[in-house]
Amino acid sequence: MMSGRGVVNRLAMVIAAALGCAVAAAPLRAEDGYALWLRHAPLEGEALADLRAAAPVVVAPPGEDDSPTLKITRAELAQGLAAMQGETKLRATPDSLPIVLRCGRARGDGQSGFAIAPQAFAGRRALAISAPDHLGCLYASFALLREVALGRPLHAIRLGEAPAMPLRMLNHWDNPDGHVERGYAGRSIFDWWRLPERLDPRMIDYARANASIGINAVVVNNVNARAFMLEPRYIAKLKRLADAWRPYGIRVFLAARFSAPIEIGGLARADPLDPAVRAWWQAKADEIYAAIPDFGGFLVKANSEGQPGPQDYGRSHAEGANMLAAALGNRGTVIWRAFVYKAEDATDRTMQAFAEFVPLDGQFAKNVIVQVKNGPLDFQPREPFHPLFGAMPNTRLMLEVQITREYLGQASGIAYLGPLWQEVLGADTGRGGGVVAEVIAPVGMAGVANTGSDRNWTGTDFDQANWYAFGRLAWQPALSSEQIAREWAAQTFTRDPQALGTITEMMRASREHVVNYTGPLGLAHLMGTGHHYGPAPWVCDLPRPEWNPCYYHRADKDGIGFDRTARGSNALGQYAPAIAAQWADPASIDLRYLLWFHRLAWDAALPTGRSLWAELVARYDAGVAGVDAMAAQWGRLAGALDAARHAAVSADLAIQRREARWWRDASLAYWQSLNGLPLPEGAAPVAESLEAYQARNFPEAPGQ
């Protein structure tokens, strides 16, 4: 009897024959993006023949401990390898290649490395996976599947890997009511309301995706935290998640509101030196550990953007952090954010974190980490690296990047962030501690998550690549972002070398296009108020000066840019002398940072041979042209990829083309209203009037 699918296939052939078109040998599967980079699409050609000939089987030698993690490891290997053979199950043959798991019993500490190499087993050729602990074996199995997915024959796989940093963490800005701050992929994936009884199966798929790229820690709630998430009912919910994720090597953390002792503890104050406050946190920590013995700890946003903190009581960040650290003891970690700035502080906003934190170097308890954003402002499309890196040698510093694209187009088009993160990881701090990746190596890296309830997890298909690249770079910052793009695309879309070349090239260039059409030459923070969607460089009337775009660009009829040299705010003085010297001279500074550090006349001559104004226009145009080129490249891939995702990305790119033009035109219209200059010859005219751009209004924009 013919199966249901057989009937459908037969029908498809009959219809295709009737229509006179050829039936493809390997029809493209219908895809909805849910499987992420773990599709395990069947191999083709020689690679398929190789894998079938190897006929791998998974073997755990007797005596090995079993554990939930090992069970998952075996299942992942078996299912992934079978799927790539186009089968549902592995089939042993007399010549089967054993894949032997040799997993030790060390306690996982986030440093679970592994080796994969040929080895004899029971007198025959085998491939051995060895790791000091079970989690290392799980990581190895995902690495092995990745290699196979990329077309590498099993017998040629030799890997020895260890993560570059212990903490590889996602920070969710998800609220308990399901809204995600700066989320553009639907509602929160965490169904707090129905926990602890109901665990959405998606929570397992989420953990699995994270484990496949080495992510080992998750802060489940927004840094703008609600105190009630520390109540017993939420501890029970969190425990359910922690239990589900433990086999995947993921530890849970909570963002904690500093004033929780007042809001849910009935105390009058949250002063960190008050014994009653200390006792409250101690009891709270004990209560959490009783439910979740491997609870990771607290993430805290304090005295920043209106959040409560120790300064409300005249105490320092260190006193606040150390109080919580004492409550956790050696069981967990306090991650204290350095993202602080104040309206009342008249100094350059980009200098305030450095000024507040450097004097505290050496004062933080051992189990405190200070989490520092990649740049000194706020996740802009491009910023110089944060001067705190390298400047607090006696403090454990962790890097925070944003995977969700709050300032890089949000849910539109393609902006692959690998190059952005690589830029900061590779930045030389000039302070002896080496590049940023070296400074944070003993600690870790956090990424603000971009997941949501959308079927494909991240809103656009290409934003999956940002989640993927974050994990891969936290595991190994030395990987090239281009290599990561290629391996992601090969697992996610197609192994066809030509298509892969095109996709990788699109991804490589995409972030620079966004920089060019939103804020070229070091401009930043020019976006719409509140929702941060679209251009609004004209905004200058917000009550907090440092929330205004005009605070950052400082443009008028004479020129544009923020003078951060010694003549201006001297933010440059916060960098190591060698770095500051490189950037101090507008004639020699890397043009990417020109207007970040310098204010120049519109007609200043640049090393490119153009005036500043002509260069700005050229870069806006390059951004727009870059997006057009991506859309054209993608268009040519029709037929090489599954139709559903091809169409979805085409639509994403159409949105991005519209928005790139809007950014360019609105920005140029505004700059022209100040400088009175005509556009250089050949430049396309601005489509609408400045007033028309200023009148656009988006009260419903997502993610606020």
Q: Which is nearer to ligand BDP, 336 or 671 (CB)?
A: 336
Q: Is residue 563 a contact residue for ligand BDP (CB under 6 A)?
A: no
Q: Which is nearer to ligand BDP, 36 or 180 (CB)?
A: 180
CA distance 483 to 477: 12
Q: Is residue 181 a contact residue for ligand BDP (CB under 6 A)?
A: yes
Least distance CB 618 / ligand BDP (angstroms): 29
Burial class of 391 by CB neighbour count within 10 A (0 to 12, 13 to 18, 19+): buried
Residue 457, C-beta contacts closer than 8 angstroms, at least 6 positions apart: 33, 34, 36, 185, 189, 209, 451, 464, 467
Residue 558, C-beta contacts closer than 8 angstroms, at least 6 positions apart: 601, 602
Among 301, 486, 564, 664, binds ligand BDP (CB under 6 A): 301
Using DSSP's 3-state secondary structure scheme, residue 463 falls into: helix
Alpha-carbon torsion (164, 165, 168, 171), positive or negative: negative
Instruction: Examine the residue annotation and report whether 546 is marked as an active-site residue of this protein.
Output: no
Read off the tokens for 247: 């086999």
Q: Is residue 361 a contact residue for ligand BDP (CB under 6 A)?
A: no
Among 339, 538, 575, 583, binds ligand BDP (CB under 6 A): 339
Q: Which of 285, 304, 280, 288 is nearest to 371 (CA)?
A: 304
Least distance CB 55 / ligand BDP (angstroms): 51
Least distance CB 463 / ligand BDP (angstroms): 17
Least distance CB 547 / ligand BDP (angstroms): 10
Inter-residue contact 168 to 216 (CB < 8 Å): yes
Least distance CB 303 / ligand BDP (angstroms): 12
- Cβ neighbours, 10 Å, residue 608: 12
Candidate list 133, 356, 383, 406, residue with the active-site label: 406
Q: How far is CA 468 from CA 17, 358, 435, 453, 465, in A?
A: 41, 33, 23, 17, 5
Among 31, 133, 378, 454, binds ligand BDP (CB under 6 A): 378
Size, binding site for ligand BDP by CB under 6 A: 10
Q: Which of the 8 DSSP states describes residue 528?
A: P
Q: Is residue 182 a contact residue for ligand BDP (CB under 6 A)?
A: yes
Least distance CB 407 / ligand BDP (angstroms): 7
Inter-residue contact 227 to 284 (CB < 8 Å): no
Residue whose C-beta lies closest to ligand BDP = 378
CA distance 478 to 657: 33
Q: Is residue 526 a contact residue for ligand BDP (CB under 6 A)?
A: no
Inter-residue contact 429 to 385 (CB < 8 Å): yes
Q: Is residue 539 a contact residue for ligand BDP (CB under 6 A)?
A: no
Candidate list 133, 271, 319, 378, residue with the active-site label: 378
Q: What are phi and psi of 549, to 5 degrees?
A: -55, -35
- Cβ neighbours, 10 Å, residue 483: 12
Q: Is residue 207 a contact residue for ligand BDP (CB under 6 A)?
A: no
Q: Is residue 379 a contact residue for ligand BDP (CB under 6 A)?
A: yes
Q: Which is nearer to ligand BDP, 488 or 552 (CB)?
A: 552
Q: Is residue 224 a contact residue for ligand BDP (CB under 6 A)?
A: yes
Q: Is residue 9 a contact residue for ligand BDP (CB under 6 A)?
A: no
Q: Which is nearer to ligand BDP, 180 or 637 (CB)?
A: 180
Instruction: Examine the residue annotation and report whether 378 is marked as an active-site residue of this protein.
Output: yes
Identify residues 150-169 at the interface with ligand BDP (CB under 6 A): none
Q: Is residue 382 a contact residue for ligand BDP (CB under 6 A)?
A: no
Q: Is residue 408 a contact residue for ligand BDP (CB under 6 A)?
A: no
Least distance CB 633 / ligand BDP (angstroms): 31
Q: Strands of 57-59's sheet, edge to edge?
A: 57-59, 98-103, 124-131, 114-121, 159-161
Q: Is residue 552 a contact residue for ligand BDP (CB under 6 A)?
A: no
Least distance CB 337 / ligand BDP (angstroms): 7
Q: Which is nearer to ligand BDP, 373 or 564 (CB)?
A: 373
CA distance 186 to 455: 9
The binding site for ligand BDP (CB under 6 A) comprises 181-182, 223-224, 301, 305, 339, 378-379, 406
List residues with catalytic annotation: 305, 378, 406
